[in-house]
Each structure stands twice: as structure tokens, then as C-alpha cells.
Amino acid sequence: MGSFWHAFADMSAVEANGPFVIDRAEGTHVWDESGKRYLDATAGLWFANVGFGRAQIAEAVATQMEKLPAYSTFGDYSNRPAEALCDLVSELAPVPNSKVFLTSGGSDSIETATKMARRYWQLVGEPERQIFINREHAYHGMHISGTSLAGIPANAAGYGDFLEEVEQVAWDDAAELAELIHKLGARNVAAFFCEPVIGAGGVFPPPEGYLKAVRQVCRDTGVLFIADEVITGFGRCGDWFASGRFDLEPDLITCAKGITSGYLPLGAVVAAPRVADEFYAARAGMFRHGYTYSGHAAVAAAAIANLDIIESEDLLGRARELESELPAALERLMTLDVVEEIRSGLGVLAAVQLDPDRLEEDPALPMKVVAGAREAGVLTRALGPGALQISPALVTSANDLEEMVSGLAIGLEAAG
């Protein structure tokens, strides 16, 4: 066995069974080292929005790497790809005149947003606003702030306390958020974190009117509204950002994944003028925060090429078509006893929820279904409440959907 310590893994099990080595990928498919082909129902980890094998991105990166791979962007240092990318993201974001802070991934973006939120309140003279509110089922990455903000209990367990000023509300109840803020005193609450569609927690699309209502609660109480669009950004919800589709105008948007479709690691925080102006004011001084790769030139080139593909191939339009094609294709799995429900209907996102009674009898059921689907040539993943992740690339065809549902059905039948 080698030295590669896998993420989110029980390494004793990985060592016992050996790693599952992915060798190459093209479009919506990946191949293992034996040459077996799989339909990728998850777009990697929700990131491969434009699909795999895009020479245009590889060429843009190679050209940039030969010229300038990366350089510091601390202080007054800059590079043109990072500038061009931030201008582009600011233009695409549903927040007029926003500023864009680059990071190396989603967890970095969450970490940055928590520090921006706290610092913002200090800058405007309300330093007692320290509490963050998250939602049940939430996933906000795995740095210290993201772990503290976890709405999936297992993800926060086993470390003791990190950030203590965190309160949680139900995932679907705007009135509860208003009541909690009232109880805590708005003057003590810094920000509310909200995934427009809860992803890793099990794919829970928002109830009708929920997003607008929580946005309004935040407006009414001054609490910063932070949309975590690490999954939903850059096309997955049929718009550049889900916040645009629901007209939310967040104070901060965290993003990653689809910004490069995973060709290189990148994250970003989009800041509305309400927040950014305070940091840009002369009296604010230096924001002592940032990463070595905040503005990596070759990564920025990958992102620009990726966003160009999304635009030129109208993948936002394709995502809106898939929004109804995907549930229609998955519907046939409802005939299987082991399936409790299909959660879908917003963007290219769905979960196949397994029957709770069966899950209680056999907690290993999701892993068995995942293994069976893999055997049948479809890659999926078990999510929090015993559900299967369905988030294929935005270039998914009708044939791909058919292949996906057939493989899932085989895995579900074998395990169920």
C-alpha cells in the first residue's frame, strides 16, 4: 500500500480493499486502470460542470504557465489573468459592483467569508455581532469555520469545540430564523450561511419562497446573508448563480468547484459593496488575510477558459433543460421498494433517498448500493441521510441519463 492518505476515508478499509484508481476521463465518463468505463453521476465532487477532456482549458493553462505560472498577489502585486477573472466573475455575479477575493477552494472561501463578516462588523463599529447561524444538513467545508458551521453532526464530532458562536436553525423554516435572531438579539448576530440547494447534506432544494423569506429576515435585522454557492455556482442551477435566479443579492457569495470545473483548484468570495466598501476605505487599513495562491495566474486562466465554454455552449440553458429531464429519468427508480423518494427539481441536482426502515436495518445499505452501481458502470456517492448523490456534468445527454438510471437501478436492486 502506498502513502496517499485519502480524504474522507476510513484508511483501514481502503488498505484492506485497495484503492479504486481513476485513470482518465472524457465528457461524462471516466475509466479505471483496467479500462472499465463508468458514467460519472456526480461530476467528480459536484465540480466537472463542462465535463472532462476540454483541450481548450488545458491549452489556456499551458500557455499561461509558460509565460507566468503564478506570482504573489499580496499587497500591490497583481497579474492580468487574476484581474480579468475577477472582473468577469463580478460581472456574472448577481451583485452589482461586487469585488472578488480569490482563494484555493470552497473551504478557504468559507474561512474567508467568516473572517470578512467578523471584520466587517468591527469596521462598522458593531464588534459584538459575532454569532453565525447555519442550517440543519448544511455543509460548508472542512476548515475550522466550516467544521463549526456543519449541519451534518458527524462532520463536527470528534474534535471538541472550535468556533463556539454558532447557532443552528431548521433547513426549511424562515420564521425560525427570524425568531432565533430576535431571541439572540440582532445586535449579536454576524451572518447567516445558506446553501441555495443543500448539497452534501442530502440534496434538499429550498421550499417555495424560503430563500426570498430568509433573505428578507437578514435585510430586516441587518444580519449578513452569505450564500454558499460552492455547488450551485457557475451553472448548476441554470443560472450563473442560484442567487441570481432567486434575486437574493447576497452580501457575500462563496464559490469554488464549477468556477474551473475542477480543472485546477480555485475558490472565490464575491463581496457586495456594503461589505467591500468598508474594507476598501482608507481608514480600514490592511486586511490581514489571503493565501499564497489567491490569484494564481494559471488557475485564473483555467477559470476564464471554463467560463467561456459555459457561455459559448449555453450550458446554463442545458442545465435548465436537465432540471426537468433529470427528475423525469430518475422517476423510474421510485418503483423499487428500497427507494423512499427522489429529491430534485432545482438545477442539475438530485438525491435518491433510500428507505429509512431499510437504512435502520442495515446502515451499510448506501455503501452497498454505491458498490453495486459501480459494478454496473455508474459512479455515485452516499450522502448524509442515506441518499445517493446525483449531480452529473451540465453536458449530460439523454443517453447518459438512460445509462445512469439503468446502472443505479442495478445497484439498488442488488442491494435492496
Q: Which residues bind ligand PLP (CB under 6 A)?
A: 105-107, 110, 139-141, 195, 199-200, 228, 230-231, 256
Task: Let me know: does 61 contact 264? Beta carbons within 8 Å.
Answer: yes
Alpha-carbon distance 335 to 285, whole Å? 61
- If you search the block for the grid coordinates 486502470, which residue do you land on? 33
> Min. distance of Cβ 132 from ligand PLP in angstroms?
14
Alpha-carbon distance 266 to 176, whole Å? 34
Helices (H) and strands (E) in the chain, counts: 16, 15
Smaller CB distance to ligand PLP: residue 231 or 303? 231
Alpha-carbon distance 202 to 383, whole Å? 5
Beta pairing class for 37-40 and 29-32 = antiparallel
Smaller CB distance to ligand PLP: residue 114 or 344? 114
> Min. distance of Cβ 308 from ligand PLP in angstroms?
22
The CA dihedral of 181, 183, 186, 187, to the nearest 10 degrees, is -150
> Min. distance of Cβ 228 from ligand PLP in angstroms?
4
> Min. distance of Cβ 237 from ligand PLP in angstroms?
12
CA 239 to chain centre: 15
Amino acid at 183: K
> Min. distance of Cβ 149 from ligand PLP in angstroms?
9
Specify the 3-state DSSP secondary structure of 5: coil
> Min. distance of Cβ 409 from ligand PLP in angstroms?
27
Smaller CB distance to ligand PLP: residue 71 or 159? 159
Enumerate residues 6+ apart whose C-beta is below 8 A from 122.
none
> Min. distance of Cβ 226 from ligand PLP in angstroms?
11
Smaller CB distance to ligand PLP: residue 8 or 183? 8
Alpha-carbon distance 203 to 195, whole Å? 10
Smaller CB distance to ligand PLP: residue 116 or 339? 116
Smaller CB distance to ligand PLP: residue 134 or 329? 134
Phi, psi of 97 (to 5 degrees): 60, 35
Smaller CB distance to ligand PLP: residue 242 or 333? 242
Smaller CB distance to ligand PLP: residue 319 or 409? 319
Alpha-carbon distance 116 to 156, whole Å? 22
DSSP single-letter state for residue 67:
H
- If you search the block for the grid coordinates 492518505, which residue do you land on? 5
> Min. distance of Cβ 143 from ligand PLP in angstroms?
7
Which single residue brings its beta carbon nearest to ligand PLP? 106
